[in-house]
Amino acid sequence: MSVGDYIRDSQIWKSIFRHPAPTDRRNRVVVMLTNFFLHLHPVSVKQQGIALSYTWCMGGITFFLFLVETVTGVLLMFYYRPTLEWAYNDILALRDVTTLGVMREIHRWGAHAMVISVWLHMYRVFLTGSYKPPREFNWVIGVLLLVLTLLLSFTGYLLPWDQLAIWAITVGSNMARATPFLGHEGPGAQLLNVGGFDLITNASDARFILLGSRFVGESTLNRFYIMHCVAIPLVVAGLIMIHFWRVRKDGGISQPL
Amino acid sequence: MSHHADLTPSVIQGLGWIYLILAVMNGAWAANAGKQKADLRIVSAWAVFSALLGMLAFAQIAGGDQAQNFSIRMPEVVKAGIDRLANPIVYFAGSTVLFVVIIAARKWLVNNTVAWVILNLMVLFLALSMTDYDFRQIVGKPDNVPIVAMLFIVAFFTWLYFKRAVDNDDRRAKGLPLFEQVENEKVLTWPDLVYTELICMVVLTAILIAWGVALPAPLEEPASAVKTPNPSKAPWYFLGLQEMLVYYDPWMAGVVLPSVILVGLMALPYIDFNKLGNGYYTFNERKFAVITFLFGFLPLWIGLIILGTFLRGPNWNFFGIYEPWDVHKLEVLNNVNLSQYFWIDGLQRPMPVAPSGSDGLTQALYILLREAPGLILVFGYLFLLPPLMAMTVFRRFFIKMGFLRYMVFANLVLLMACLPLKMLLRWTINLKYLVAIPEWFFNI
């Protein structure tokens, strides 16, 4: 009896993998039903539906990049401190001295790649008409995931706390100043005043809520850090679950009707 | 005019590697053509082209350190010509023309050889352009590298779409089953799909690690609230929105129009009543939807990101791809509001101004009077045009969609069109604002 057989015959192995290896038809079916990670998939799929030239694989790539971002992001969180005193220095150290500092590069390039792959996924879903009934609502969830992906990238952009970061966020968030009614330089904001006091000022408008301050400062760094590492990823994870679940429930993999 | 330390050995050698990759790709192309029993003259033409590229690559890699004599550069004449032509009007008009050509000539473009020639031209253009210092400064920024890659990737997938769509449209015309319906048996997810996913994950991990090792993530000077960089740019994926600021105020470009884009995308499945084209690639069966979406995605979204990233320099001025970013470049801005055109140039009288000391209501009424021409135009655009279109161009749509659905659709189309329209007005009659009420931060 070989070592491999001995391991596969042990109680531990069998408690994890309930069935023999997926080498014959029966076990290839069973593995899809009994493995938690694989059960996202149906047991069988249409050949053309999974052809790379049809799906472009972009949804799967986006999900994989989300996982890469989560893993590298958690590793970076062990190292990086989101304060004015340390943020920049920690990134500097990641670049120059830290072992596996390349995690930051992978995290950043993965983020860019994820933005692109999300767009391409949407592009493919549009071009194959896969948003049409019965998949309308899953498309809507997809649009929300697109927005959240951009917001994840946007909030992460600030964290290195270099010139590139704060000015990109300053430019991006300045728009919020002009939000109709809710920005202090937006149309209609003047109407919101009580007894001569403006309700919407630069310390109470949409931009202030976004930044936690009247300019991009330490409270912004903290706010963006929490959004980037906790709040948005949680929402994204939840929406991804619904998105995947509905792919199965709304008629399965996209195919000619 | 090389006022910079121009071509360093590492640049020349790096370009050598690009030529080498291109040589190998063309070698494979020639070999494949040979295997397919193509015309011998064509096969040898590709082989010779590949060999030439190989020699060029060898010369650049081996002799890179003794520099400039070897390297083939983008001719100065071409650079000057491209820079002279470059301005926002030519850029946007050009990308729109390109868009129309792609759709009109799709049957020709999906030909493999045509696409291969275009790919070669794109890579050669990029490689030659990299010999220019200013081009390298912009394209070589670490954060801009993914955008260059995106350009090729989007071009490829657009091509792939048309390839499959043209094929399917052909099949329909001949009464054959669609490509997606042929050989479409059910297969087991394990191994057919699971293995693809696994390979994809491994390849992607390898790419990310290689990319991370080869290209350091950008890190500039520590943040300083007093040193404003010029230009200050948003993250690259928002540069299309930042470009809209040239034509609209922040409340439109930064808030209303992005919201409209998102609402429009979410509304898409509910306003597209066309049942055809579900689950397969086609162009002919859903022309309107595809053209509208492609116009929004290619020239407007991707196109403006490219414009904002590579062509906007200090003070958000427009610079050609080989032009140095001169902080002092002046662009004459003499844009005029519609109200001024109307009252001063048209009616030859002063703009209406409330008598001094009048109360708030009177002042507001005078402001509305002053801006009445623009307000009427905007009102007509958003509220009169939809019913008008329902009776004319979109008659069929209106009947199929019903009132509410149609109104949402018509407004979304009009709001999407308002960007190119404003661009057109700016370029033709130097229009600044249709409605200019700075008193209320309300400019359109």
Q: A156 lies in a domain?
A: yes
- Domain-terminating residue out of B326, B356, B381: B326
- Looking at the structure, tell me whether residues B256 and B372 fall in a common domain: no
Whether the predicted pLDDT of B2 surpasses 50: no
Among A106, A161, A255, select the one facing B208 at the smallest CB separation. A106
CATH at residue A96: 1.20.810.10
Mean pLDDT calculated for residue range A175-181: 90
- Residue B308 to chain A, least CA–CA distance (Å): 13
Q: A24 lies in a domain?
A: no
- Residue B269 to chain A, least CA–CA distance (Å): 5
Nearest residue on chain A to B277, judged by CA atoms? A129
A contacts of B157 (beta carbons < 8 Å): 56, 120, 123-124
- Looking at the structure, tell me whether residues B171 and B278 fall in a common domain: yes
Confidence of residue B65 (pLDDT cuts 50, 70, 90): low
Q: B254 lies in a domain?
A: yes
Nearest residue on chain B to A117, judged by CA atoms? B150
Nearest residue on chain A to B188, judged by CA atoms? A44
Mean pLDDT calculated for residue range A139-155: 97
Higher pLDDT, B347 or B261: B261
Instruction: Give which of A30, A83, A109, A153 to mutate to test B binding, by max B Cβ within 10 Å.
Output: A109
Q: B99 lies in a domain?
A: yes
Query: How many pairs of residues across A and B have Cβ atoms under 8 Å apart?
Result: 265
Tell me if B200 and A187 make a contact (CB, 8 A cut-off).
no
- Looking at the structure, tell me whether residues B305 and B355 fall in a common domain: no
Q: A17 lies in a domain?
A: no
Q: What is the DSSP letter of B217?
A: P
Confidence of residue A157 (pLDDT cuts 50, 70, 90): very high
Among A131, A154, A165, select the one facing B269 at the smallest CB separation. A131
- Residue A1 to chain B, least CA–CA distance (Å): 27
Average pLDDT value over all residues in chain B:
91
pLDDT of residue B59: 87
- Looking at the structure, tell me whether residues B318 and B342 fall in a common domain: no
- Looking at the structure, tell me whether residues B429 and B353 fall in a common domain: yes
B contacts of A146 (beta carbons < 8 Å): 265
Lowest model confidence (mean pLDDT) among A54-63, B91-100, B267-276, B333-342: B333-342
Q: How large a percentage of chain A has pLDDT more than 70?
A: 100
Among B187, B255, B281, select the one facing A175 at the smallest CB separation. B255
Among A42, A179, A215, select the one facing B225 at the smallest CB separation. A215
pLDDT of residue B3: 47
Instruction: Give which of B193, B199, B263 to mutate to test A binding, by max A Cβ within 10 Å.
Output: B193
Whether the predicted pLDDT of A1 surpasses 80: no
Instruction: Give which of A115, A175, A213 to mutate to test B binding, by max B Cβ within 10 Å.
Output: A175
Confidence of residue A256 (pLDDT cuts 50, 70, 90): confident
Q: B222 lies in a domain?
A: no
Q: For B121-171, what is each residue's pLDDT tens digit? A: 999 999 999 988 899 989 988 889 999 999 999 999 999 999 999 999 999
pLDDT of residue B69: 62
Global pTM value: 0.94
Higher pLDDT, B77 or A257: B77
Higher pLDDT, A124 or A257: A124
Tell me if A56 and B234 make a contact (CB, 8 A cut-off).
no
For the record, the structure tokens of B34 come out as 């040979």
Tell me if B213 and A102 make a contact (CB, 8 A cut-off).
yes
pLDDT of residue B70: 61
- Looking at the structure, tell me whether residues B142 and B173 fall in a common domain: yes
A contacts of B368 (beta carbons < 8 Å): none
Among B215, B269, B441, select the one facing A139 at the smallest CB separation. B269
- Looking at the structure, tell me whether residues B98 and B194 fall in a common domain: no
- Residue A208 to chain B, least CA–CA distance (Å): 15
Q: A30 lies in a domain?
A: no
Q: A6 lies in a domain?
A: no
pLDDT of residue A199: 85
Boundaries of domain holding B14: 1-72
Tell me if B200 and A172 make a contact (CB, 8 A cut-off).
no
Nearest residue on chain B to A50, judged by CA atoms? B193
- Domain-terminating residue out of B326, B356, B371: B326
Cα–Cα dist B38/B45, whole Å = 11
Boundaries of domain holding A127: 49-249
Domain count, chain A: 1
Nearest residue on chain A to B204, judged by CA atoms? A61
Q: B91 lies in a domain?
A: yes
pLDDT of residue B1: 41
Burial (CB < 10 A; 0-12, 13-18, 19+), residue B323, is buried
Q: B322 lies in a domain?
A: yes
Q: A199 lies in a domain?
A: yes
Domain count, chain B: 4
The residue length of chain A stands at 257
Confidence of residue A198 (pLDDT cuts 50, 70, 90): confident
Average pLDDT value over all residues in chain A:
93
- Looking at the structure, tell me whether residues B253 and B315 fall in a common domain: yes
Of B427, B392, B162, B408, the closest CA to residue B291 belongs to B162
Q: For B313-323, what is each residue's pLDDT tens digit? A: 999 999 999 99
Q: How large a percentage of chain B has pLDDT more than 90?
A: 75
Tell me if B150 and A38 make a contact (CB, 8 A cut-off).
no
Q: B223 lies in a domain?
A: no
- Looking at the structure, tell me whether residues B258 and B173 fall in a common domain: yes
A contacts of B217 (beta carbons < 8 Å): 95, 104-105, 108-109
Confidence of residue B72 (pLDDT cuts 50, 70, 90): confident
- Looking at the structure, tell me whether residues B321 and B357 fall in a common domain: no
Confidence of residue B101 (pLDDT cuts 50, 70, 90): very high
pLDDT of residue B67: 61
- Residue A166 to chain B, least CA–CA distance (Å): 6
- Looking at the structure, tell me whether residues B205 and B250 fall in a common domain: no
